[in-house]
Structure 1
């Protein structure tokens, strides 16, 4: 049995279908635990600031607010936070540059980079 600490993943995703797929895929990875999700900017910040997490998967377009605002708020906090990975359906070079400047460490296109996102997270467990 592997006694390595589980990485805690938090999802910021308002599309229930995508969230379900992500949870299903992530929970099959050894040493990963999905600790929660939020569908809006306000809920995401409330949760991210109150629970322990290692990786946040951030969608840019949210039901209320935006993932950019979440990234910006976390960057301006005094606290050290975990890794932020962007998973968006509207990827562009400009958006990637903006998210990276706000502290994101990865940028993935929802339409065809789910496997790359999962591989990136798997690599973090080693």
Structure 2
């Protein structure tokens, strides 16, 4: 099973993504967070394989979540991370990549690509 943490501050978008993720075979949505501290607590308390991270959160920033993941001491247990955000500027993308984000999906156009990425990651984890 691919264990996922969804870090998204919009309740509507969070619910929609959660439903789409739940429909993917081999995937378990292990946590949801609307802010940075809540996301870090989920990462500490759960064994997460993939974090889907929005950059603008109710509290803190998705960049803080990416930084935390990138600084995980044990590389073998470090979750993968991708960004799902409206802030797709090249400078922001470069910052996310520098913090270890594997991919960046634009909220306006990239939901299908995000779901395809999760499906592929689940197939790789199987």
Which residue matches 1:95? Answer: 92
2-structure distance, mates of 1:72, 1:11: 16
How many pairs align? 121
CA drift at 1:12: 0.6
Select the residue among 69, 72, 81 that pairs with 1:84: 81
Which residue matches 1:43? Answer: 38
TM-score normalised by structure 1 residue count: 0.92
TM-score normalised by structure 2 residue count: 0.92
**Greater relative contact order structure (CA < 8 Å, 6+ sep):** 2
Q: Give me the CA root mean square deviation.
A: 0.9
1-structure distance, mates of 2:82, 2:64: 14
**Bigger share in helix:** 2
Stretches of structure 2 lacking an aligned partner (at least 5 in a row): none
Structure 2 SS opposite 1:117 = helix
Select the residue among 7, 10, 16 that pairs with 1:12: 7
Stretches of structure 1 lacking an aligned partner (at least 5 in a row): 1-5
Matched, 1:104 2:101: yes
